[in-house]
Amino acid sequence: MRYFKHGTLLIIGVLLIFTWTFPQFFRCLFVAQDNFNEIKPMIFVEKGISKNQKDTLIKNIVLAKKRIIGFWGKQEGIAKIIFCKNAETYKKYCQSSEGAGCSIGTPLGSWIILNTDGLNVDVIAHEMCHDELMTRLGWWKTKKHIPTWFDEGLALMLDQRFVSSQDSSQRYIDYRAELNYLTSQPIPLQELTTQKAFFGQNQLFTKVAYFSSAVAISQKISTKGKKEIFEIIEKTKKEDKFEF
């Protein structure tokens, strides 16, 4: 009985720590019991959305997956997608009203949360790229070793909202031009290693952070190819050390 009691307390303690570390986990895990319908496997939509929104969501998920496969070679990420039609619902799931989408990664599952502004292929491909990197590396190694600038810069390679060129050299030139338009002083990458540093200031800083990251990634791809990015990821996985 004593061991049972201690075991029960341990389980409760672990659950409390997990909930504190991943406050959105249980909400996302039980999304089907909330005001959502599963319209396709792993795609949940808030009740009351229009048929056009459903059709647009499904179409853009298919297109986003094609971008993932085109860049990564195949899709390994298996994040569930949650579409929120109300801003309040989106904030409840993302714990923020910012942006058109967010990614939630945990050791026990991952989710992509979208609002109505996220009903486009760019946002979905961007968030899927975050999930792809985490799936390939694992949650712990991603959080421990991957700087935020690398994760966000990589996602922008599949996100055509700012630069649409598919030519790697032109993409680098265009991102560099976007960055130069915003500022003559790019943010050093070592100052963008954490989410707090990347997103914790004002909107202009975050935009400069995005473009600084995209310039670094696109330059690497334009000079050495995508294989260099994959080698960096694989080396991080094997050696527990990130080197760019």
* pLDDT at residue 96, rounded to an integer: 84
* pLDDT at residue 125, rounded to an integer: 98
* pLDDT at residue 31, rounded to an integer: 92
Distant-in-sequence, close-in-space partners of 219: CB < 8 Å, separation ≥ 6:
172, 176
* pLDDT at residue 74, rounded to an integer: 96
Q: What is the DSSP letter of 186?
A: P
Per-block mean pLDDT, blocks of 10 residues, the chain (244 long): 56 56 80 93 95 96 98 96 95 88 91 96 98 95 96 97 94 96 92 94 94 97 96 95 94
Structure tokens at 47: 């009740």
Structure tokens at 6: 């201690």
* pLDDT at residue 95, rounded to an integer: 85
Per CATH, the number for 22-144 is 3.30.2010
- Which of 92, 94, 89, 86 lies closest to 53, judged by CA? 86
User: Helix crossing, 226-239 with 121-137: angle to 10°?
Assistant: 40
* pLDDT at residue 165, rounded to an integer: 92
Structure tokens at 105: 């990664």
Give how far Cα 133 sits from Cα of 97, 176, 179, Å.
24, 24, 25
Torsional class of 38: left (φ above 0), alpha (ψ -120 to 50), beta (otherwise)? beta
Q: Where are the alpha helices (DSSP H) in the chain?
A: 2-21, 25-29, 51-72, 87-94, 121-137, 139-145, 148-155, 168-182, 195-199, 203-224, 226-239
- Does an H or E element contain 40, and which? strand 36-40
- Give the separation between CA 229 and CA 244, rounded to whole angstroms: 8
Q: Hey, where are the domains in the chain?
A: 22-144, 146-244
* pLDDT at residue 121, rounded to an integer: 97
Q: Which residues pair with 36 in a beta bridge?
A: 46
**In terms of DSSP bridges, do strands 80-83 and 43-46 run parallel, antiparallel, or are they unpaired?**
parallel
- Which of 91, 240, 101, 209 lies closest to 217, judged by CA? 209
